[in-house]
């Protein structure tokens, strides 16, 4: 039995004003990625002892470039794409428009936040890296810009849940369409998770940068950052999961295994994403070993829904491959539609994410983390997660999303497939260099051109990092060529378009425990209890904080 994942499977005509707002967000996000990839080339070549950052206009030092690379890729790009994409999926799933005016408000907040933070970074007044730990102090505009970017996600959350509430009033007793459920679950998790960074930025760092507070408490700020800093990984990842669950099966010609299992996966992310932050602070003093161990255990717990995702998505791909004539244990994989750029990009993203997830378990391990903490291993890991699984998935989504939003046909399908393979190869080569160097003690966040302690054994790792980063840059530029050509020169078509939506093999249940999965308030309460258990003991023993660290500024 095949069951649709949306309320109106026959189609829904998204209003033009809403399409324009969403397209603007998507373009803003990929514009940020363009800047980030250019800076990323400089970061990769730094490990190969090649300095191209000196030729970048306004670039004062290595750490300014590293800050730009991290912030525009991990915050601006991901926030803008998620705000637009999941607003679209919610609207389509419920077959009802969102408020176009408020969608433009979201876009305006993102533009304002990007310009404010961008000003501080471009003028060299915010070389505080993506994590912006005090006592490093940035210009006040940097913190205000970050705050506005977070607020843009809160407005999106409100839009999604207002639409969901209205739909439920009109459809009492019906299950929430699966696509709407997983979209709303993503924003519910992130809204609670973002409270930590909001308190840190608005309550501590912004007043500090304005001179209203004389000093800072680094441990408190680090804890608040990582309260949000690990679940933000899932805010990057879950929009890709939305596509992997609901759209990739359609591209592959398969079907989603189970509606209920998919909901369980996203509920697990709601519950387990946040109480994991201390595994980033294993080396921080002032936090009890018991609390660190608890967070480490919960981090291994949040690995489980990703394992379920792997088997679920592979099921859908196998069904598609066998329908195309594939046989045996693995031949079905070769029979997938390797000429479909949307599918190719996301399947390759899944392959790199497999390695990224495995290396993440090393980061989460209490003992093994000590060997790779603050080494090049760490960027090797997250370039196989956010740098590939997320980025390549968003690129793959763009190959059908831009035609859908603009009414233009995709330009350069062959080039789109080629860029995915080049980017994929680049990620693997660069990650190999970073991870091998990290095992040998090669540091992260370091200007290797000035590192007097560089070891000869790091040379090969650095060369691989530079080569892989160059391939990623080439693949990225090919993507932007396809993106821009489609956006401006793609052939107009009057054919009606819809999202590439799959169906589920096992439909949603209308009675029993599965129905309770739709009760978001249950999961919100359970999530808050877990957060209290995971962070309450530390806050009780640590507060009131000791604001004793004076600021340190690069400018």
Beta partners for 375? 443
Neighbours of 331 (CB within 10 A): 12
CA–CA dist 250, 253 (Å, integer)? 5
CB 225 within 8 A of CB 159: no
Catalytic residue among 139, 295, 444, 505: 444
Among 420, 404, 418, 408, CA closest to 498: 404
- Tell me whether residue 382 is one of the annotated catalytic residues: yes
Catalytic residue among 139, 175, 263, 381: 381
CA–CA dist 492, 13 (Å, integer)? 17
Which secondary structure element, helix H or strand E, spans residue 33, and what is its range? helix 16-47
Catalytic residue among 60, 168, 324, 445: 445
The number of residues making up the chain comes to 555
- Structure token pair of residue 30: 């990929």
- Tell me whether residue 383 is one of the annotated catalytic residues: yes
Q: What is the DSSP letter of 14?
A: -
Q: H/E/C letters for each residue in 385-424?
A: CHHHHHHHHHHHHHHHHHHHHHCECCCCHHHHHHHHHHHH
Catalytic residue among 175, 230, 251, 505: 230
Residue 397 neighbours by CB under 8 Å, 6+ apart: 85, 243, 247, 342, 346
- Enumerate the H helices of 123-258 as residue ranges: 140-170, 178-193, 195-198, 206-209, 218-229, 231-246, 248-252
- Tell me whether residue 445 is one of the annotated catalytic residues: yes
CA–CA dist 542, 429 (Å, integer)? 43
Q: Do you find a cis peptide bond into 544, omega within 30 degrees of 0?
A: yes
Catalytic residue among 81, 234, 266, 423: 234
- Tell me whether residue 295 is one of the annotated catalytic residues: no
Residue 71's Cβ-side half-sphere holds a number of Cα atoms within 13 Å equal to 30
- Tell me whether residue 432 is one of the annotated catalytic residues: no
| β-sheet with 3-4: strand ranges across | 3-4, 503-506, 256-258
Catalytic residue among 383, 408, 432, 505: 383
Residue 38 neighbours by CB under 8 Å, 6+ apart: 56, 473
Q: Which residues are identified as catalytic?
A: 230, 234, 381-383, 444-445
């Amino acid at each position: 039995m095949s069951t649709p994942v949306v309320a109106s499977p026959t189609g829904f005509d998204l209003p033009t004003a809403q399409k324009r707002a969403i397209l603007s967000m998507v373009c803003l996000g990929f514009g940020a990625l363009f800047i980030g990839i250019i800076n990323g080339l400089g970061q990769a070549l730094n490990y190969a002892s090649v300095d191209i950052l000196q030729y970048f206009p306004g670039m004062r030092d290595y750490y300014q470039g590293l800050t730009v690379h991290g912030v525009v890729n991990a915050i601006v790009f991901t926030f803008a794409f998620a705000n637009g994409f999941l607003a679209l999926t919610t609207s389509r799933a419920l077959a009802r428009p969102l408020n176009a005016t408020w969608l433009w408000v979201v876009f305006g907040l993102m533009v304002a936040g990007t310009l404010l933070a961008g000003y501080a970074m471009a003028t060299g007044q915010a070389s505080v890296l993506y994590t912006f730990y005090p006592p490093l102090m940035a210009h006040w505009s940097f913190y205000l810009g970050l705050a506005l970017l977070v607020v843009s996600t809160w407005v999106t959350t409100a839009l999604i849940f207002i639409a969901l509430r209205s739909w439920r009033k009109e459809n009492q007793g019906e299950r929430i369409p699966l696509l709407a459920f997983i979209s709303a679950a993503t924003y519910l998790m992130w809204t609670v998770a973002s409270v930590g960074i909001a308190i840190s930025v608005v309550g501590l760092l912004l007043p500090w940068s304005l001179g209203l507070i004389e000093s800072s408490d680094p441990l408190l700020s680090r804890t608040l950052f990582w309260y949000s800093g690990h679940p933000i990984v899932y805010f990057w990842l879950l929009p890709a999961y939305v596509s992997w669950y609901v759209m990739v099966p359609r591209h592959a010609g398969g079907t989603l295994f189970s509606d209920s299992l998919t909901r369980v996966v996203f509920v697990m992310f709601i519950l387990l994403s946040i109480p994991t932050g201390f595994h980033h602070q294993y080396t921080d003093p002032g936090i009890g070993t018991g609390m660190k161990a608890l967070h480490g255990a919960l981090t291994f717990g949040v690995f489980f829904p990703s394992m379920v995702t792997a088997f679920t998505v592979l099921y859908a791909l196998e069904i598609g491959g066998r329908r195309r004539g594939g046989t045996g244990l693995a031949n079905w994989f070769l029979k997938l539609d390797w000429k479909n750029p949307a599918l190719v990009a996301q399947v390759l993203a899944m392959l790199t994410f497999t390695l990224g997830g495995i290396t993440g378990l090393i980061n989460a391990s209490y003992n093994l983390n000590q060997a790779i903490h603050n080494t090049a291993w760490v960027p090797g890991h997250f370039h196989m997660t956010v740098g590939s699984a997320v980025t390549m998935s968003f690129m793959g989504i763009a190959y059908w999303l831009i035609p859908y939003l603009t009414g233009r046909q995709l330009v350069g399908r062959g080039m789109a497939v080629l860029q995915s393979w080049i980017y994929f190869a680049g990620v693997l080569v660069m990650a190999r260099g970073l991870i091998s160097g990290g095992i040998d003690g090669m540091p992260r966040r370091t200007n290797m051109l000035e590192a007097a302690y560089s070891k000869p054994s790091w040379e090969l790792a650095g060369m691989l990092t530079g080569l892989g980063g160059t391939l990623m840059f080439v693949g990225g530029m090919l993507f932007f060529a396809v993106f821009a050509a489609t956006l401006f020169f793609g052939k107009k078509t009057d054919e009606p378009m819809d999202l590439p939506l799959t169906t589920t093999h096992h439909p949603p249940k209308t009675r029993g425990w599965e129905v309770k999965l739709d009760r978001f308030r249950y999961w919100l309460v359970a999530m808050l209890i877990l957060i209290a258990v995971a962070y309450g003991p530390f806050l009780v023993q640590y507060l009131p904080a000791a604001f004793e660290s004076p600021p340190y500024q690069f400018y």
